Amino acid sequence: MRYRKIPDETVRRLPAYLRGAMHLSRGGVVSTSSQELAALLGVEPWQIRKDFSYFGDFGTPGVGYDLGHLISRVNKILRLNVGHKTVLVGVGNLGSALLAFPGFRTYGFEIAAAFDIDRRKIGRRKAGVLIEDVAALAGLRARGIQLGILAVPETASQKTAEALVKAGIKGILNFAPRRIAVPRGIKVITIDIAMDLARLPYYVPAG
Amino acid sequence: MRYRKIPDETVRRLPAYLRGAMHLSRGGVVSTSSQELAALLGVEPWQIRKDFSYFGDFGTPGVGYDLGHLISRVNKILRLNVGHKTVLVGVGNLGSALLAFPGFRTYGFEIAAAFDIDRRKIGRRKAGVLIEDVAALAGLRARGIQLGILAVPETASQKTAEALVKAGIKGILNFAPRRIAVPRGIKVITIDIAMDLARLPYYVPAG
């Protein structure tokens, strides 16, 4: 079942709710309130209630949200109830950090393949993953991987994204700080680290 | 001049508007519309107009936004009109990628100092920046740096954030996927890469 017309901003917040709910659940808690979840995540309770209202309210007034139900429901909405194999392109400093990053497993992600252009890296393993020649990216199609992580230099990002799409990739997490053009039906999420840093001074009083 | 009561979500979008405006300006464009800016950034025009309305409307009906004025105004609001020196703690794979990352300069940021705990790294330079001993972090106070980038392992993040605050840091960009407790008046922005990846499958039809 797909849920339609959920605002992107709500989808953006759902993984945080899921992480908070999993955190409480691991601690032995069985139900929570929007107030408790909000305090844990540093957001507003009304925001949580509003976001959850898009999927039908799954809380009970006076009782709150059943955590098992909430986790299972949000996992299904985000399609995280099935594991996802991903491919990494670009095994430089950033790519190496991503390969070693334990956080992906929280949501059922596995970096199952890695590609680079550098002959000195191709054929070696990093964090257990074989680094393959980016020229052979097309061979990826047979391996049933739909999600790609793009950690190549900015100048190579558009070309590499196109190669990923040709190889059957449907969703790309892009670390290059530029807009990438992809065919309709392909989703790109860009993480622009500088843009996150750029909103920090706003909150820091002039010294 | 500080502008108060701007919603965090608006502050989050301002750097993107700024980047778009700078892009158009570099191309020789002198004024733009919310439609043009929206198309460039992949957002909705009404969102841009609503966000800009918090600072008094700086567009002219039928003419649009003067880019020079817009850039200067948003830069001032975000306090990006002055350069910002930042300190990086943790020069592993991620930290090394951040040191080499050209995107920070777009918004006037410079990584002016770097610290690590690893004896083999201390005293060496990376991307021109000397790696100092994290035990000497307190000495940072004299150097007038207010922003810190935290790229240490998750287990060290809380302790290191506390050391940064003691060293006079007022704002922290945190890459550890956990909530960091800081005193009132200190701002932490967390980049949780796994959470960004976690919303990608939602947009990818089951294959």
- Per residue in A27-73, pLDDT tens? 999 999 999 999 888 788 999 998 988 876 666 767 788 999 999 99
Which residues does residue B115 pair with via DSSP β-bridges, in sequence order? B89, B132
Give Cβ neighbours of residue A184 (< 8 Å, ≥ 6 apart). Answer: none
How far does Cα B178 stand from its chain's mean position? Answer: 18
- The whole-number pLDDT of residue A207 equals 57
Which of A95-109, B54-68, B115-129, B187-201 ranks highest by mean pLDDT?
Answer: B115-129
User: Which one has a higher pLDDT value, A117 or B64?
Assistant: A117
**Mean pLDDT computed over every residue of chain A:** 90
Structure tokens at A142: 């047979």
Counted residue by residue, chain B has a size of 207
**B194 with A106: Cβ contact below 8 A:** yes
- The whole-number pLDDT of residue B58 equals 67
pLDDT tens, residue by residue, B31-59: 999 999 998 887 889 999 989 888 766 66
Domains and CATH numbers, chain B: 8-77 (1.10.10.10), 84-195 (3.40.50.720)
A103 pLDDT more than 60: yes
CA distance readout (Å), A120 to A115, A123, A132: 12, 8, 11
Identify which of B98, B144, B187 has the shortest CB distance to residue A204.
Answer: B187
**A193 with B191: Cβ contact below 8 A:** yes
pTM: 0.86
Smallest CA–CA distance from B1 into chain A, residue: A206
- The whole-number pLDDT of residue A4 equals 57
**A101 with B193: Cβ contact below 8 A:** yes
To the nearest whole Å, the CA of A141 is away from the closest chain B CA by: 12
Nearest by Cα to A180 from A205, A203, A150: A150
Show residues of chain B in contact with A11, CB under 8 Å. Answer: 199, 202
Smallest CA–CA distance from A41 into chain B, residue: B179
Show residues of chain A in contact with B170, CB under 8 Å. Answer: 204-205, 207
User: Which one has a higher pLDDT value, A187 or A58?
Assistant: A187
Show residues of chain B in contact with A204, CB under 8 Å. Answer: 79, 146-147, 170-171, 187
Reported as a pLDDT band with limits 50, 70 and 90, residue B207 is low
- The whole-number pLDDT of residue A178 equals 80
Rg of chain B over Cα atoms, rounded to whole angstroms, equals 19
Percent of chain B residues topping a pLDDT of 90? 71
- The whole-number pLDDT of residue B178 equals 80
Beta strands in chain B (DSSP E): 31-32, 59-60, 64-66, 84-89, 109-116, 125-126, 129-133, 147-150, 171-174, 187-190
ipTM of the complex: 0.89
Overall average pLDDT of the A175-186 stretch: 90
Show residues of chain A in contact with B199, CB under 8 Å. Answer: 11-12, 14-15, 78, 189
- The whole-number pLDDT of residue B1 equals 45
**A197 with B173: Cβ contact below 8 A:** yes
**Mean pLDDT computed over every residue of chain B:** 90
